[in-house]
Amino acid sequence: MKNQTILITGATAGIGRATALYLAQRGHHVIATGRRQAELDRLVTEAGPSLRISAIALDVTNPESIAAAVTSVDTLTNGAGLDALVNNAGFGVMGPLSELSDADLRRQYDTNVFGLMAVTRAFLPAMRERARGSRAGARIVNVSSIGGRVTFPFMGAYNSTKYALESLSDALRYELAPFGIAVSLIEPGVIRTEFAETAMSPVSRFESSVYGPAIAKADVLRQRMEATAVGPDVVARAIHKALTARRPAARYVAPRFGHLLLAMLAVTPTCVADALFRRMSFLSRRELAPPA
């Protein structure tokens, strides 16, 4: 499947930006969206005139912004609509659940869950029409995380949104199949992107917390892991496969060695896995600060 018109949310950095360039280099018309217009403009400039990348400002948490994006896409495609939608916009709130506010959780869900579904619903009517007139149908690719199948300490808010996305994607896959729309999930592992910095940046917020020492040490471990992580292109390749495969899989783990972690956890007793995750996150009585 070539020459598709593909909209990507969250295309200003990391996986979204890498995917926009990767798909455009393979002959697709990419509609890159995001909240930061300056970054979108830089992406278009980097792509140059030889690649078909259009930029549209889009805040997935803003209904008016979504409606404007639908109108812009209709104009860009002369009413033909999208062949594919890549829901990539997302971010991570880090911290112990007992110390995150309701506002923290709502902000996390507004982007990663409610925003994703709002964008999907907005583009679905035109995508159904497009799929009806195409032998190849249409595609929706949702970028989840291996953290949608494994919960990590201090990442419960983020992980819970990805667990929700796993279920929502399964339901969409069942419900949209009769219309010729295939739905796939991408489950990245540790990837070297700006997203990790965004997720981990508020470490100082918990300095006075009982969890402060543990979070600080976990941040050091995270930096070491990220230093050896693969770049976002490995995820871009998985997204490309989901968009172009004749029969796309329901799930793609990227990088593939993430399968090893999932397989190991599947046969590891819960008590053993718990002890491992607590150790990696420095969650022992001696590591935690005494309550004030």
The verdict on whether 163 is a catalytic residue reads: no
Annotate the chain with DSSP letters as a single string.
Answer: --S-EEEESSTTSHHHHHHHHHHHTTT-EEEEEES-HHHHHHHHHHH-TTS-EEEEE--TT-HHHHHHHHHHHHHHTTT---SEEEE-------S-GGG--HHHHHHHHIIIIIIHHHHHHHHHHHHHHHHHT-TT-EEEEEE--GGGTS--TT-HHHHHHHHHHHHHHHHHHHHHGGGTEEEEEEEE-SB-SHHHHHHHGGGGGGTTSTTHHHHHHHHHHHHHHHHTPBPTHHHHHHHHHHHH-SS--SEEEESTTHHHHHHHHHTS-HHHHHHHHHHHTT-STTTSPPP-
Owner of token pair 């979204």: 16
Say how far apart CA 263 and CA 149 lie, in whole Å.
Answer: 11
Q: Is the dihedral of CA 225, 230, 233, 235 positive or negative?
A: negative
Residue 215 contacts residue 201 (beta carbons within 8 Å): no
C-alpha 5/C-alpha 77 separation (Å) is 8
| From 22, 158, 163, 211, the catalytic residue | 158
As annotated, the active-site residues are 158
